[in-house]
Amino acid sequence: MIHNIINSYAIVDMQGKQYLIRPGHWYDLNLIKNTQIGDTIKINKVLIYKKKEDLQLGRPFIPKASILLQIIKHGVRKKTLVLKTKRKKKYTRIFGHRTYYTRAQWQIKTL
């Protein structure tokens, strides 16, 4: 059972980024608006899907393939600090921002 989970994965295209996802693992994605905890989102852009020895490659996507992710939580990442200085002018400014994220887990695979 564990051997099958380790050998299965998919590479999907979401929000302009590519993610390598495995069943049962959770991933932090950029914030997905208008979703609640427990909702499922459907990803149609599957680039590669591998299960045991079977490998499916898309050109660029696998037709009629989709993966369902379940939303676990919404949160805020650690603060990113930005330091702005102008040398020889005694000017220093520090500011930062925090980005929101959505944590999702691959629950159901439909290929």
4-22 pLDDT tens trace = 456 789 999 998 999 999 9
Number of structural domains in the chain: 1
| Burial profile 79-90: b = 16 or more Cβ within 10 angstroms, e = fewer | eeeeeeeeeeee
Model pTM score: 0.76
pLDDT in tens, 33-71: 999 999 999 999 999 999 888 888 989 999 988 999 999
Residue range(s) defining the domain that contains residue 67: 2-110
Lookup result for tokens 């994220």:
101
Cβ atoms of 16 and 95 closer than 8 Å: no
Q: Which of 58, 60, 49 is nearest to 111 (CA)?
A: 49
Cβ atoms of 48 and 59 closer than 8 Å: no
